[in-house]
Amino acid sequence: MEAVYSGSAMPGGCVIGVDLGGTKLLAGVVDRDLVVHHRASRRSPSADAEELLSQVVSTVVEARDASETDVLAVGFGIPSSLDVSFRDVIAERVGMPVFAGGAATLAMLAEHRYGAARGASDAVLLTLGAGIGGALVVGGRLVTGTAVSPGHMVVDLDGPPCACGSSGCLETLASGSALGREGARVARAASDSALGAALEAGRSITGALVTELAHDGDRAARDVVALVGMRLGVGIANLVNLLGSSVVVIGGGMVAAGDMLLEPARTVVRERALPGSREAVSIVPARFGEEAGMLGAALLAFDGLGSAAAAA
Ligand SMILES: [Zn+2]
């Protein structure tokens, strides 16, 4: 990756960016040019807070021990379900300053500063994973401190129940979990497809598996990805009508589906968003892909160190 960060005049050293997603915990040792020197990850982070804390600490320590350069701080993207005291406990256990922000907000920080939304005055980012997270740039500024929850925008009055207590929310229809669920439904009906064969072989039908089979050319899997892409397009059309965003960045694990997912979404937006908005908006994958959140967390740590130095 080309060098993209030439921030403050502080001397070398790295930070660790941590992205805590629903299905994966990813930590990376990152330098000021946003080059990732080491990665450490854990699959299926625990739902138990104490266990999760241990997993985070051990992942950070593993990344730090692998680094040949000094690690100065940790930036941490936390899902909105975790409270801020988490940050203080981690700082104490790893013995470094820890800076925390919302996971999707940090992905947008990286994408707006150096990635797919660079220079945009109004942009929205959706992270498609186990759920759907979101972040906004309004008037050229990243919106922080306010929870943005596009995943709970209701797009189907009679849709499936959602963890939030409502039903028909966008994340019940267009998240990675929804892709897996839809894939399982189609697998049962299409036993002659690769998707059906996978189910018969006892594999669990996840969003990642559906995406993999779609890339391999399985028609049933491709249809599922396209259907989820159309639903995503409905959500995006609503957001664009509401916010007037000119750039919509799609991040999170589902970005691996690429244009198989995004092209049906673009078609729906062209049909459904208001004239003026529908021509102006571009729907693009995150430049930093699944690592946008981790890199944004690293940027937050560098920014935090910079202001700490300025305040000293
Ligand atoms: Zn919901």
Distance 131 CA to ligand 1 centre (A): 9
- How many whole angstroms from 119 Cα to the centroid of ligand 1? 31
* pLDDT tier for residue 9 given thresholds of 50, 70 and 90: very low
Mean pLDDT of 215-244: 97
pLDDT score, position 291: 92
Distance 164 CA to ligand 1 centre (A): 4
Sorting pLDDT into bands at 50, 70 and 90, what band is 6? very low
Q: What separation in Å is there between the alpha carbon of 243 and the centre of ligand 1?
A: 20
* In the predicted structure, residue 111 carries a pLDDT above the cut 80: yes
User: What is d(CA 17, CA 295) in angstroms, rounded to the nearest whole number?
Assistant: 6
How many angstroms is it from 176 CA to the middle of ligand 1? 14
- Kindly give the distance from the C-alpha atom of residue 232 to the centroid of ligand 1, in angstroms, as a whole number: 15
Query: Tokens at residue 68, please?
Result: 């040949």
How many angstroms separate the alpha carbon of residue 169 from the centre of ligand 1? Answer: 5
CB atoms within 10 A of CB 17: 32
Helices (H), the chain: 49-66, 85-94, 103-114, 170-174, 176-189, 194-200, 207-215, 219-243, 259-272, 277-280, 292-311
Q: Which of 210, 141, 157, 219 is nearest to 179 (CA)?
A: 210
pLDDT band for position 212 (cuts 50, 70, 90): very high
What is the 3-class SS of 100-164, one letter each residue? EEEHHHHHHHHHHHHCCCCCCCCEEEEEECCCEEEEEEECCEECCCCCCCHHHCECCCCCCECCC
What's the rounded Cα separation, in Å, for the pair 131 and 241? 22
Question: Rounded to the nearest whole angstrom, what is the distance from the C-alpha of residue 47 to the centroid of ligand 1?
Answer: 19
Q: Lowest mean pLDDT: which of 6-20, 224-238, 287-301?
A: 6-20
Residue 293's Cα: distance from chain center in Å?
6
**What pLDDT is attached to residue 112?**
97
Regarding predicted confidence, which is higher, 70 or 309?
Answer: 70
Arithmetic mean of pLDDT over the chain: 91
CA of 144 relative to ligand 1 center, distance in Å: 21
CA of 129 to the centre of ligand 1 (A): 14
The residue with tokens 């920080």 is 109
User: Burial, 37: exposed, middle or buried (Cβ in 10 Å; 0-12, 13-18, 19+)?
Assistant: middle
Residue 84's pLDDT band, with cuts at 50, 70 and 90, is low
CA atoms within a 13 Å half-sphere pointing along the CA-CB vector of 234? 16
pLDDT for the residue 16: 97
Q: What is the CA(45)–ligand 1 centre distance, in A? A: 21
| CB neighbourhood size of 242 (10 A) | 12
pLDDT higher than threshold 60 for residue 4: no
d(CA 285, ligand 1 centre) in Å: 24
Nearest 10 degrees: CA dihedral of 283, 82, 207, 28? 80
Q: For residue 93, what are its two tokens?
A: 């256990």
For ligand 1, the distance from its centroid to the CA atom of residue 84, given in whole angstroms, is 23
Residues 6+ apart with CB under 8 A from 148: 104, 105, 134, 135, 136
26-71 pLDDT per residue, tens: 999 999 999 999 999 988 778 788 888 899 999 999 999 998 889 9
Question: How many angstroms is it from 171 CA to the middle of ligand 1?
Answer: 7
Instruction: Considering only residues 183 and 54, tell me which one the structure prediction assigns the higher pLDDT.
Output: 183
204 CA from centroid of ligand 1 (Å): 24
Note whether 233 and 269 are within 8 A (CB): yes
Between residues 255 and 307, which one has the greater pLDDT?
255
| Residue 33 Cα to ligand 1 middle (Å) | 38
CA–centroid distance, 142 to ligand 1, in Å, is 24
On the question of pLDDT at 8 being above 50, the answer is: no
At 258-286, the pLDDT tens digits run 999 999 999 999 999 999 899 999 999 99
Model confidence at 288, in pLDDT bands (50, 70, 90)? very high
Residue 96: closest CA among 29, 46, 7: 29
**149 CA from centroid of ligand 1 (Å):** 9
299 Cα to the center of ligand 1, angstroms: 30
For residues 42 and 32, give the distance between their C-alpha atoms in angstroms, rounded to a whole number. Answer: 25
Residue whose pair of structure tokens reads 């001397």 in the numeric block: 11
Higher pLDDT, 144 or 226: 226
For the entire predicted model, the pTM comes to 0.89
Q: Which of 44-48, 54-58, 81-85, 242-246 has the lowest mean pLDDT?
A: 81-85
In the reported structure, the alpha carbon of residue 165 is separated from the centroid of ligand 1 by a whole-number distance in angstroms of 6
